[in-house]
Structure formats: C-alpha cells, structure tokens
Amino acid sequence: MGSPLVRIVRLTLRPDAVDAFREIFEKAAPVIRSSPGCISLELWADARFPNIVTTHSRWENAEALEHYRSSPFFRQTWARTKTLFAAPPFAASHVVAG
C-alpha cells in the first residue's frame, strides 16, 4: 500500500454545458464516494469563471484511484463528461511531502 493521494482535475466546460456537467456530477458523486479507497470528493467552482470547475478527491493510495479509473463506471462517466469540455482538462495527483 502506498501513501494517501489527492487528485485534482480542473475542467473548462463550454458555458452552455455547466448545468449538464452538474447533473452528471450529482449522479456520479455518491458512486465515487462509495468506491473502495475513496476518502472524500468535492466539486469546486471557480470564483470568477462559472464554467471552470475542479474536482478534489482523496484516496487511500494510488492503487485505489487506479482501480476506480479502470472501472466501467468511470469510463462511461468520463466519456459523457468529455463531450462538455471547452479545453483539455488538467489532472494531477499529489502526495503529502511534508
């Protein structure tokens, strides 16, 4: 087992797609939160640009995140979400360094 992991995914949505994204997130969030190894999940909205959102999730370790990311649920949800993007997403995983 590895260290706890924080995953940040910043999405720039088409302005007309914000409501559709929120619907997808609201339906997906309970499933993600109940995934093995998921500690928490939050959706952050940019203070200035309502079409920019960030998901912040904490995982027990990288293996737990990868298990979720390889699931059919993730693949299906991500396929629907990608159609809403105005720009490529930014994703990064972090561990506590100090």
How many C-beta atoms surround the C-beta of residue 48 within 10 A? 6
pLDDT of residue 97: 81
Domain range list for the chain = 5-94
Structure confidence by residue, pLDDT tens digits, 58-93: 999 999 999 999 999 999 999 999 999 999 999 999
pTM, rounded to two decimals: 0.92
Q: What is the CATH number of domain 5-94?
A: 3.30.70.100
Structure confidence by residue, pLDDT tens digits, 2-56: 899 999 999 999 999 999 999 999 999 999 999 999 999 999 999 999 999 999 9
Provide the CA 19 distance to its chain's centre, in angstroms.
16
DSSP assignment string, the chain: ----EEEEEEEEB-GGGHHHHHHHHHHHHHHHHTSTTEEEEEEEE-SS-TTEEEEEEEESSHHHHHHHHTSHHHHHHHHHHHTTBSS--EEEEE----
